[in-house]
Amino acid sequence: MKSLLIAAAMPASGKLISLSAVDVVIIATYFALVLGIGVYLKRFTKSGEDFFMAGRGMTAWIAGLSFLAANLGSLELMGWAAAAYQYGILATHWYWIGAIPAMLFLGLVMMPFYYICKTHSVPGYLRLRYNNATRLLSGVCFAFMTVLMSGINMYAMALVLKVILGWNIHFSIWVSSITVAVYVALGGLLSAIFNEVFQFVLIWLGALLIPVLGLIQAGGWSGMVAKIHQNFPGQDYTHLWGGLGHFSSNPMGINWIGIVFGLGMVISPGYWMTDFLVVQRVLSAKDLRSAKMAPIIGAAFKMLVPFIVILPGLLGLALLQTKLLPTDQALATGGHSYNEVLPLMMGRYLGPGLLGLGITALVAGFMSGMAGNVSAFATVWTYDIYRPVFRKQAPDDHYVRVGRWWTVLGVLISIGTAYLVMQFRSIMDYVQALFSFFIAPLLGTVLLGMFWRRTSGAGGFWGLLVGTLTSIGLWGWVKAAPAALSIVALSADAKPMAENMYRALWSFLACVTVTVLVSLATKPKPASELVGLVRGCTDVPTEHGIPWHKKPVFWGAVVFVVFIILNLIFW
């Protein structure tokens, strides 16, 4: 309790706790290990296939854990703990309905087409399916989004080290970023994947400490819920679906339509099925069955992630006596913001040794998220922007050198974007805005291209362009005229997160509508050019001879049943 009172009284520029010698050794050992992995794996990355796709030799388990770890960065640990404090258990939707169905659909339905055509990237698939113009548009949008997302990871990590340890924010950004740049530039995707699996284990070891210790103090789940109701009467922070009947009946200011259609059917599939950051990990699998199993393995672990990222935010609602504020109000008053709930809980529970493990988990999360963005950025830049525009024909080792240089440059560009995050009330508002700009319309382009052979090259390009501009235009409209939020989100009671969900939905529908209309008015590719790319034109390999308990569809069904049960339990 004493440490909590100190934290409540301390200005945001102070520090909550100091590292012991044991903590310093743990953190230093981690940095040495990840750099050592990069140096060791450099010898195995000679060709472009090695550097950009890890030689396509990963097992289902390694590809699956890397698939999840690329997403499980400091953004997840910091951002969703903050979102859970701000919105309560509703933040869990981004892990369950906002992930599981899309991950299963990717593995069971979409992976055969990505894998059979041997593409290096999602923009690369769009080139084969549509044309170079669509590839370049998606490549530029994706490259822009990855450097912005990298800035989130940098800011989140620097904020943790500043609040808990009092470290200079610029020092934290540069030391961690340079480390990522070195090991990804040396070993490419292979280095990123092996470090992500290593970091995945560290994240779980370190991040589990706060939920376990916090629930013990709160008196279990029921005790925590009772304390939240006592601290915040009149607000429903503890029901997943029960408060979504109307915009005004939950702290997120959203209804079930926005969650199901905006999140579950647009933003989530857009991210898990078309964002090359995560799809790249699955494409590294050694065979088609492994590629199909990897997202299913990732989905099984994804269902458990709320227990290490959402629970700290809920425990903050129950146990912190000081009320946290939006970032702008915290800066104005010198108080603590939503984004600092995880550092505050770490300062409350973690002593010498445990603090070092907890800090290492957050550093690992930062590097996992950062490495994922940087390796994907280097691949898309090299194969989908540099190669078709600047040098179409060059030796393979030339593209490897370009990939290494753009890994470093991507890190430098990302550092500049870290400061943009500070302008948003919470980290997750920033993230959802980016997803609605670039991911939601891309989903329409990929799905129509993969499942409707009539889609034309012109339709794919103009649909993606109009969908992206629609999302950015709606965002700008609400920024210029805040009252427009009620129009975009269909309710005067809607809040900013509802705007993100509905903006994504409108941009997706705009993309689909324009793509269909333009495709019907223009000539599509002949069926002979769509083999391996479109359902109905492709013979997907079957799994005859494999026992039923080893088939991806069986494990996909198991994961889906558990997903339904969890939603009913926390209804």
Q: Which has the closest alpha carbon to 343: 97, 12, 43, 33? A: 12
C-alpha 127/C-alpha 462 separation (Å) is: 14
C-alpha 63/C-alpha 197 separation (Å) is: 9
pLDDT of residue 6: 28
Locate 501 and state its tokens. 């969900």
C-alpha 53/C-alpha 187 separation (Å) is: 11
Q: Residue 383 to residues 58, 125, 249, 403: CA-CA distances in angstroms?
A: 21, 11, 48, 9
Total residues found in the chain within this entry: 571
pLDDT of residue 99: 87
Give percent helix, percent strand, percent coil of the chain, each to the nearest 5.
75, 0, 20
Residues in the chain with pLDDT < 50?
1-13, 54-55
Supply the DSSP symbol for 40. H
Q: What's the CA dihedral at 165, 170, 175, 179 to 10 degrees?
A: 120
C-alpha 14/C-alpha 166 separation (Å) is: 6
Q: Which has the closest alpha carbon to 142: 416, 497, 441, 496? A: 441
pLDDT of residue 560: 93
DSSP letters, 374-429, are: HHHHHHHIIIIIIHHHT-SS--HHHHHHHHHHHHHHHHHHHHHHGGGGGGSSSHHH
C-alpha 70/C-alpha 13 separation (Å) is: 30
Side chain identity, residue 66: S
Tell me the β-bridge partners of 325: 337
397-404: long-range contacts (C-beta < 8 A, 24 or more apart)? 397/46, 397/47, 399/48, 400/45, 400/46, 400/47, 400/48, 400/51, 400/188, 403/48, 403/51, 403/52, 403/188, 403/378, 403/379, 404/51, 404/185, 404/188, 404/378
Tell me the β-bridge partners of 58: 285
Residues with Cβ < 8 Å from 332, sequence gap 6 or more?
Answer: none
C-alpha 101/C-alpha 106 separation (Å) is: 9
Please identify which residue in the block is written with the tokens 């012991």: 20
**Given phi > 0 = left and psi -120 to 50 = alpha, else beta, which region is 304?**
alpha
Up-side HSE of residue 167: CA atoms within 13 Å toward CB? 19
Please identify which residue in the block is written with the tokens 């390796």: 375
pLDDT tens digits for 244-254? 778 777 777 77
Supply the DSSP symbol for 32. H
Supply the DSSP symbol for 47. S
Locate 497 and state its tokens. 């997160």
Q: Residue 225 to residues 18, 81, 215, 221: CA-CA distances in angstroms?
A: 32, 16, 10, 6
pLDDT of residue 428: 60
What are the boundaries of each domain within the chain?
Answer: 2-540
Write out the E strands in 208-366. none
Centroid of chain to Cα 231: 31
pLDDT of residue 506: 92
Sign of CA dihedral 90, 96, 97, 102: positive
Residues with Cβ < 8 Å from 410, sequence gap 6 or more?
Answer: 146, 147, 150, 373, 374, 377, 378, 381
C-alpha 462/C-alpha 457 separation (Å) is: 9
pLDDT of residue 1: 29
8 Å CB contact between 215 and 311? yes
C-alpha 508/C-alpha 274 separation (Å) is: 13
pLDDT of residue 46: 62
C-alpha 466/C-alpha 470 separation (Å) is: 6
Locate 478 and state its tokens. 């609400």
CATH of domain 2-540: 1.20.1730.10
SS3 325: strand
